């Protein structure tokens, strides 16, 4: 993966290029991302640049032997650690046991969520974790001499999952072998051990700018600029969500939300409400989460409109009209707590909660809050 494949973040790319050009590469980096903002692709592109044999002024060449191997995730000096669902019966207790899955999943979806990844390797509703055996493997792997690269790179995705076992890495983080770099990626710095956090150089990866998402949609999806701007305004800095909205149509989720709210507020026909909930859940966990994230965005903009009297000036007329109508219903304290309740619903869905139950519960809360 090259920097050119990472959407937006030009300033961060420049910062990383300069550290290499000026020979100021740190021993360990922590990319603190928000889901969908591209922390993992950015770290992977930097790993490729570090070992590129013929880098350009702006990127890795993408053509040398090192770039080809890193692109296929088979470079001998670039190691990958990620959360897994350990299965002792099948002798799958470390990241290396899932490398074949990783080499399929990441190239197909570099912006995949942790939930996407775990679902691709396990049918069980479990949280992934980084095992004690994996920590041992990291220490052993980095103690070996360089085989073919300029830098030995250890990528750790989901660094918040290191937990107490991560303390075994402290000495290695403080005194790594020569030309060894840790590239950690995480979304929740509060879950990372303070001892690890203090030994890494933090790089905050913000939401992707609307303008960058819009340009990328035009270039990669071939949609017109007006449509791209409309999608970018709704994606709220998430490239996966932008792709979804571009592929399936921005008004699909808006239509679902309108129907969901109408049934929730009316609630005269509970069987019909249950059918609507089942239909939304039936779209799949990823689509359900996108539905809820878009609903959360609309509520937030409606609350701003309710407080200031100004409607968000997005390019989607239908969306603006909906925000205006919804804002008129947000005068009560109960209604103003809905974004928090939607956030909790997203939290439960991310952790494999029972979709029908949590969405039906949200429908009840919405109905109570908005019924006038």
DSSP string, 287-303: HHHHHHHHHHHHHHHHH
Same domain, 186 and 272: no
Contacts of 333 (CB under 8 A, 6+ apart): none
Residues 256 and 191 in one domain: no
Residue 221 domain flag? no
Alpha-carbon distance 51 to 46, whole Å?
Answer: 9
Mean pLDDT of 42-57: 96
Decide if 183 is inside a domain.
yes
Q: What CA–CA distance (Å, rounded) separates 17 from 40?
A: 17
- For the chain, what's the residue count? 372
Q: Are 179 and 56 in the same domain? A: yes
List pLDDT tens digits, range 109-132. 999 988 889 888 887 667 788 989
Dihedral of alpha carbons 64, 65, 69, 75, sign: negative
In a domain? residue 86: yes
Tokens of 235: 């994606």
Closest CA to 200 of 170, 241, 164: 170
Taking the C-alpha atoms of residue 55 and residue 64, their distance in angstroms, rounded to an integer, is: 9
pLDDT greater than 80 at residue 192:
yes
Q: Do 115 and 199 share a domain, yes or no?
A: yes
> Number of folded domains in the chain?
2
For residues 171 and 29, state if they share a domain: yes
The pLDDT of residue 311: 67
Task: Work out the widest C-alpha separation in the chain, in whole angstroms.
Answer: 70
Q: Mark whether 196 and 281 lie in a shared domain.
A: no
Domain identity same for 201 and 256: no
Q: Is residue 223 part of a domain?
A: no
DSSP secondary-structure letter at 87? B
Mark whether 142 and 267 lie in a shared domain. Answer: no
Rounded (5°) CA angle 183-184-189: 150
Same domain flag for 199 and 306: no
For residue 215, tell me if it sits in a domain. no
Domain residues for 188?
A: 3-205
Tokens of 326: 């919804």
Where does a domain end: 136, 170, 205?
A: 205
Q: How far is CA 287 from CA 138, 240, 253, 293, in A?
A: 35, 11, 9, 10
Looking at the DSSP bridge assignments, the partners of residue 204 are 32
Residues 273 and 181 in one domain: no
Residue 164's CATH number:
3.40.50.300
Q: Same domain, yes or no, for 256 and 173?
A: no
Per-residue pLDDT reduced to its tens digit, 140-154: 999 888 778 789 999
Q: Is residue 226 part of a domain?
A: no
Tell whether 13 and 66 lie within a shared domain: yes
Contact criterion met (CB below 8 Å) for 288 and 355: yes
pLDDT at position 319 over 90? no
Residues 327-348: tens digit of each pLDDT: 888 877 777 788 888 888 988 8
Domain-located, residue 103: yes
Compute the distance between CA of residue 201 and CA of residue 226 in angstroms, rounded to an integer: 39
**Cα angle: 338, vertex 283, 233; to 5 degrees:** 55
The pLDDT of residue 315: 59
In whole angstroms, give the CA distance from residue 347 to residue 353: 9
pLDDT at 267: 63
- Which residue, of 205, 238, 267, is where some domain finishes? 205
| Tokens of residue 370, six digits | 């908005």
Q: Which two tokens stand for residue 26?
A: 């740190």
Quickly state the pLDDT bin for 313 (edges 50, 70, 90): low
Q: Which of 47-61, 310-324, 347-361 is predicted least confidently?
A: 310-324
* 124 in any annotated domain: yes
């Amino acid at each position: 993966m090259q920097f050119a494949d990472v959407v937006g973040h030009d300033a961060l790319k420049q910062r990383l290029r300069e550290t290499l050009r000026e020979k100021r590469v740190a021993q360990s980096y922590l990319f603190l991302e928000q889901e969908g903002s591209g922390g993992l692709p950015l770290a992977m592109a930097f790993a490729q640049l570090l070992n590129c044999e013929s880098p350009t002024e702006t990127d890795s060449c993408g053509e040398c032997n090192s770039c080809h191997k890193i692109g296929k995730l088979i470079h001998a000096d670039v190691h990958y650690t990620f959360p897994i669902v350990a299965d002792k019966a099948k002798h799958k207790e470390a990241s290396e046991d899932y490398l074949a899955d990783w080499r399929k999943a990441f190239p197909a979806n570099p912006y995949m969520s942790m939930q996407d990844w775990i679902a691709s390797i396990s049918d069980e509703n479990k949280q992934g974790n980084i095992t004690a055996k994996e920590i041992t493997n990291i220490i052993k792997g980095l103690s070996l001499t360089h085989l073919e690269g300029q830098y030995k790179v250890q990528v750790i995705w989901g660094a918040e999952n290191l937990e107490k076992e991560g303390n075994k890495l402290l000495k290695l983080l403080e005194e790594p072998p020569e030309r060894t770099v840790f590239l950690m990626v995480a979304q929740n710095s509060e879950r990372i051990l303070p001892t690890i956090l203090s030994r890494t150089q933090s790089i905050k990866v913000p939401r992707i700018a609307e303008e960058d998402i819009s340009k990328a949609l035009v270039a990669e999806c071939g949609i017109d600029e007006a449509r791209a701007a409309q999608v970018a305004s709704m994606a709220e800095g998430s490239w996966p969500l932008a792709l979804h909205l571009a592929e399936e149509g921005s008004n699909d989720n808006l239509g679902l939300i309108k129907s969901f709210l109408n049934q929730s507020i009316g609630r005269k026909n509970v069987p019909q409400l249950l059918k609507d909930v089942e239909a939304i859940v039936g779209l799949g966990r990823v689509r359900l989460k996108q539905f809820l994230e878009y609903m959360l965005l609309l509520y937030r903009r409606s609350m701003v409109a309710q407080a200031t009297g100004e409607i968000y000036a997005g390019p989607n007329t239908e969306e603006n009209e909906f925000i205006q109508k919804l804002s008129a219903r947000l005068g009560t304290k109960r209604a103003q707590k809905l974004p928090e309740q939607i956030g909790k619903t997203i939290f439960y869905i991310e952790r494999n909660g029972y979709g029908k139950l949590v969405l039906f519960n949200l429908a009840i809360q919405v109905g109570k809050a908005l019924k006038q």
